[in-house]
Amino acid sequence: SLPHVFITRRLPASLEQLQTIANVEVWMERQPPPYDILLAKAQAVDGLLCLLTDKIDCELIAASSLKVISQMAVGYDNIDIAAATAKKIPVGHTPGILTNATADLTWALIMSAARRVVEADKFTRAGLWKTWEPDLLLGPDVAGATLGIIGLGRIGQAVARRAQGFEMKILYTNRQRCAPEVEKLLNAEFVSLEKLLQESDFISIHTPGSEDTYHLLSDREFALMKPSAILINTARGTIIDENALYRALSQKQIAAAALDVTEIEPLPMDSLLLSLDNLIITPHIGSASQQTRKKMAEMAIANLIAGLKGDRLPHCVNPQVYS
């Protein structure tokens, strides 16, 4: 009999090929399946295709009969990878294909925060545009400024490539220093986090969410930044201490921030961050281009099919399961 799979949301890709080799159940609601349903499904199926909104923790994995977990995202901080590896369950993800889309959104936020596009739109709609004014809605130049990139992986490098057109100076931190050819191509200088924070006009985060990066930016780090600094986060909300960010923005210790991700998603509507004019917020749409979301769904399905067949996943987070 065919293996069973559970897909936690409707996907923007065809399930036809999957349906020839598996019994497929799709969660059809707009909200993610509640944890108890996910737990029950994980005990009843062979394959799970999940999103970053699904909490795949060690209890769920321990109780499960899963042979493969396939996440439709590049990040996987919602999944207890150690628990999956201990049970020899391969975990798939979708790297590479969302790099450009995420770098594009990062640039949309850099430009919007610098030139106050969201504020300007609200200003215009409020009927406040009375005349051309020499000092109306001024922001800093992007061209020629210094961009600090925290995490120069695939996405960080794509952001740096785009910065070449703006003749920016690039500083970066990374777990490991990049190869000299990469540094040369991107005109990027490897520095300490402290130096990056002190010298950058724009600071953009492209490192995974993990215990190591939890609250990487807090009061001490905001105090090091320039009063003119603009902070962008399209990575994971947990990397920024949001209370510290609120203090820094409201006291004008830094100029502005643009966040596509928050510590709690969705951002609670009573968050003080929503009261700030110098903050732009978008609802975790870094990879949200039509083409990219389709490719992500297709890659997640390909990982799932490989796992069901007992083949090596094309994009595996924990290849140790194969040794």
3-state secondary structure of 170: strand
Total of chain residues touching ligand GLV, rule CB under 6 A: 14
Binding mask 201-240 for ligand GLV (x = CB under 6 A): -----x----------------------------------
Looking at the chain, which runs of residues are DSSP E strands? 4-7, 23-26, 47-50, 68-71, 91-92, 146-150, 169-173, 188-190, 202-205, 230-233, 256-259, 279-281
Task: Give 24 or 52: the residue with its C-beta nearer to ligand GLV.
Answer: 52
Of these, 33, 90, 92, 156, which contacts ligand GLV (CB under 6 A)? Answer: 156
- The whole-angstrom separation of Cα 181 and Cα 92 is 30
Of these, 42, 56, 74, 89, which contacts ligand GLV (CB under 6 A)? Answer: 74
Q: Catalytic residue positions? A: 236, 265, 284
Residue type at 212 in one-letter notation: D
Binding segment for ligand GLV (CB under 6 A), chosen from 150-158, 173-181, 191-199, 300-308, is 150-158
**What is the smallest separation between the CB atom of 290 and ligand GLV, expressed in angstroms?**
16
**What is the smallest separation between the CB atom of 265 and ligand GLV, expressed in angstroms?**
10
- The whole-angstrom separation of Cα 133 and Cα 252 is 24
Secondary structure (DSSP) of 172-221: EE-SSPPPHHHHHHHTEEE--HHHHHHH-SEEEE-S--STTTTT-BSHHH
**What is the smallest separation between the CB atom of 71 and ligand GLV, expressed in angstroms?**
8
Q: Binding to ligand GLV by residue 98, rule CB under 6 A?
A: yes
Interacting residues with ligand GLV between 253 and 312 (CB under 6 A): 286-287
**What is the smallest separation between the CB atom of 55 and ligand GLV, expressed in angstroms?**
15
Cα 138 vs. chain centroid, distance in angstroms?
29
- The whole-angstrom separation of Cα 122 and Cα 10 is 34
Segment (H or E) for 36 = helix 35-44
Of these, 24, 61, 73, 160, which contacts ligand GLV (CB under 6 A)? Answer: 73
Nearest CA-CA partner of 21 in 53, 47, 51, 59: 47
Binding mask 36-55 for ligand GLV (x = CB under 6 A): ----------------x---
List residues binding ligand GLV (CB under 6 A).
52, 73-75, 95, 98-99, 153-156, 206, 286-287
